[in-house]
Amino acid sequence: MLLLQKLRSLKSLTTPIPSLQFDQSLTQRIPPADSSAYLQPEKTHIVDYRGTSPASPCYSSSSSNKCSGEIHCDTREDSDYDLSLLRDGDLSVGIDASKMGNEGRFVNDYRGIPGQDKPNAVFMDVRTPEGELKMTIQSSRVIKKGQEILVSYGKAWWQARQKSD
């Protein structure tokens, strides 16, 4: 935020800088695993929940997670792997990882996991400095080596599944 304020104060800028929602702490990466490995308590980037359009080239899973889910503009009520990236009036953009995805598709809801009363990670939508909208998963508290990364899918996700049963 300080950098953004400095950029706005420069007199050489002829156009205003849009409000960026990019958090510089998202550039942190998980430390190498060892006996004391853990994530910082909050805002440590875990993984991007990224997508690709069906027309773009898809790479193998060993090529830096480039093909991580299908970006779509329709409603996917029947998919358990669909995340809403943007909703604006009639426009809805989502990432569906039901057929392809990276590690983000294996993050579970904390409900039903023995001994868990709250999530240790959260979904965060961010905008990069280039303007790209991304869905990321960040730690919300300390995650020790070997612990499962757990989020909240939200009450609406569970209610929708109870209605269909």
pLDDT digits (tens, 9 = 90+) for 77-113: 665 656 666 666 776 667 676 676 678 778 888 987 8
Tokens found for residue 145:
């080596």
* pLDDT at residue 62, as a whole number: 35
The whole-angstrom separation of Cα 106 and Cα 109 is 10
User: Are 70 and 94 contacting, i.e. CB atoms less than 8 angstroms apart?
Assistant: no
Looking at the DSSP bridge assignments, the partners of residue 98 are none
The whole-angstrom separation of Cα 122 and Cα 101 is 18
Mean pLDDT (whole number) for 63-84: 54
Lowest mean pLDDT among 11-25, 78-92, 148-162: 11-25
Q: Which residues of 1-27 are buried (b: 16+ CB within 10 A; e: fewer)?
A: eeeeeeeeeeeeeeeeeeebebeeebe
The whole-angstrom separation of Cα 107 and Cα 21 is 24
Residues 115-151: pLDDT tens digits?
899 999 988 877 778 877 777 888 888 888 888 899 8
Q: How many other C-beta atoms lie within 10 A of the C-beta of residue 121?
A: 23
Q: What is the DSSP secondary-structure string of 80-93?
A: TTEEEEEEETTEEE
Q: What residue type is assigned to position 110 of the chain?
A: Y
| Top-confidence residue, 94 or 67 | 94
Sign of CA dihedral 103, 105, 106, 109: positive
- The arrangement of secondary structure in 26-164, i.e. its CATH architecture, is Beta Complex (2.170)
The whole-angstrom separation of Cα 90 and Cα 115 is 40
